[in-house]
Amino acid sequence: MLRAMNSAISGLRNHQTMMDVISNNIANVNTTGFKASRVTFQTLLAQTLRGAIPGAIGRGGQDGVQIGLGMAVAGVDKLNTQGVLSNTSKITDMAIAGDGYFIMTDGNKKYYSRDGAFDLDNTGALISPSSGLRVNGWMASTNAAGEKVINTAMPPSAPLVIPLGQGVNAKSTGQVSFNGNLNGASTDLLGSGVVESATATVSATGAAAFAVAATDSLTFTYNGKTFTTAALPALTAGGDLTAYATSHATSMNTAITAAGGAPADISISLANASTVAGDAALVFKGSKALVFGSSPSSNLDLGAVLKGRSSAGLETMTTSFVAYDTLGMSHEVTVKFEKQVAAPTATPAIPNNTWKWSVANLDSGTNIVTTGTTGTQATGWLTFDNSGKFQSANTATAAAGLLNPAETTNLTGARVTLAFANGQAQGQQVVLDFSRMSQLQDGNTVSAVENDGHPTGTLTSFTVGTDGKIVGSYSNGVQEDLGQIALATFANPGGLLQVTQNLVSESANSGIPQVGIAGTGSRGQINNAQLELSNVDLSVQFTDMIRAERGFQANSRIITTSDEMLQDLVNLKR
């Protein structure tokens, strides 16, 4: 009887332990990040009344006779299943969708938690407001190039600080990237640097229907500047117009060069059929807009032919960007693109699909510098291949527009120097990156899309990515990495020891914490503005409660029955 009562007592005691675990689970049904536990039982040693006897000749074997001595708690296991994630709309709340743990520290000891109900303290540190422990991770540092970098290869040793309201210094513009298209569509003659003369009919042999005296000259405007040729070559009526066109083009180019202009590569050609109704066949080609006047030419035939004739110039477009100086002041800078007429014999040669870029500033008192001479305009060449893809960009020298050999290896952009007049650092170089541009039949859509400069600003808000990276947003539009949250995983998370305030600590059987960034290994990702709810399933807990109650009741009946049997045994003496 006593043996039965002792077994029943162990059943009572351990089912009470089961009720204690169930009670704790239900009590924490709304505790953030709580993981439910379960109880498992095992048998105690059995009392052997007779050992097992093997079989022999003519006789079978006999099993041993054992009587159990009750049961014991085998363990209380942690159920580390994922809890439901709940939206909170609070930016400092975080939930882990995976097996990772936040690393919390008081400056000396490290703890771990699934509870991401964080907040910022008076110093801007990311903390657990219930315990005051700080969230561990990596803070961003500034490298030699002035960029914010996060070195996650080193162990996380610093609490994360988000200094809202802290200012950021201005950064001068060093590179501007452009995107979009330059119109690669073909243009008509009058819109592409070509002027056709309105001469009389020219014979197939190239005989001129007009005359030019040897003392005559011609005034014309090229690229906005007016030039006058020396005495034109003589031409008699019926003379060779083809030869005349070649010598006349030489006179025009000579006039431009003599006046200090860049080589123009103006040419005059002869065609038997005009592309403009009513015009004949003298075709003037130049890489810039061309306008003719009638004076001082006294030749009535040639003057009447060319008077007022002009080309609309090549395809052009203008865009702008803001350049920030070392004081954070903004300066609007315009960039103009002009399509060029191919001139393979010019110096430098101008291939097909070439555009000239030029830069000017709209601010008064601000100059563009190309080669060290204040006030000179920054210019250069921009080329595309036959499929409209970007090929190269170069900066031209101030002298004659020749390519600067020092810049010919810069195949993605051009380099200009800005000079200011209000105390800013002088000689600010800006690289214009044209590598994203194209030349297709799709209109002109070029604009500046990236600028590495910015004015001063203050940190106004931040976001946390799924990888735990904290990105700050400043009032000047700048976004900058501030730090990154570290997560830890354990080989045996069930071996972690529970401490107060939703914290756990490592034990001898949990394994060493494997620290890394979210999204790697089994750490899972961090969901911002969410919290992980308890994984307690009330339906399971109530079912387990019934099982514990029935087990307790059954064991109590063993005790009362054993007591009655002992009472009957005592009464035998009466």
State the residue for tokens 């590495």.
452
Element (H, E) at 131: none
Which tokens belong to 503? Answer: 């914290």
Q: What is the pLDDT of residue 260?
A: 77
Give the model's pLDDT for residue 56: 87
Q: Measure the CA angle with vertex 193, ends 192 and 196; round to 5°.
A: 100
- Which of 168, 36, 265 minimizes the C-alpha distance to 478? 168
Nearest to 298 by CA among 208, 215, 380, 223: 215
DSSP 106-127: SSS-EEEES--B-EE-TT-BEE
Residues 381-418, buried b or exposed e (16+ Cβ, 10 A)? Answer: bbbbeeebebebbbbbbbeebebbeebeebeebbbbbb
pLDDT in tens, the chain (574 residues): 778 888 999 999 999 999 999 999 999 999 999 999 999 999 988 888 888 888 888 888 888 888 888 999 999 999 999 999 999 999 999 999 999 999 999 988 999 999 999 999 998 999 999 999 999 999 998 887 767 889 998 888 778 999 888 877 788 888 999 999 998 875 433 333 455 554 444 454 566 666 777 778 888 888 778 888 888 888 777 777 777 778 888 888 888 888 877 667 777 776 544 444 334 456 777 766 777 776 656 676 676 667 676 665 567 889 999 888 888 888 888 898 988 766 665 556 677 788 888 887 655 555 665 544 555 667 788 889 889 999 888 777 544 444 444 444 444 567 777 776 666 666 788 888 999 999 998 888 999 999 988 888 899 999 999 999 999 998 888 888 999 999 999 999 999 999 989 999 999 999 999 999 999 989 999 999 999 999 999 999 999 999 999 999 999 999 999 888 888 888 887 6
Q: What pLDDT shows up at residue 374?
A: 53
Structure tokens at 572: 């035998």
Q: Are 335 and 432 in contact (CB under 8 A)?
A: yes
Domains in the chain, CATH or no CATH each: 2-80+536-571 (no CATH), 85-169+457-532 (no CATH), 175-186+314-451 (2.60.98.20), 189-306 (no CATH)
User: How confident is the model at residue 55, as a pLDDT?
Assistant: 87
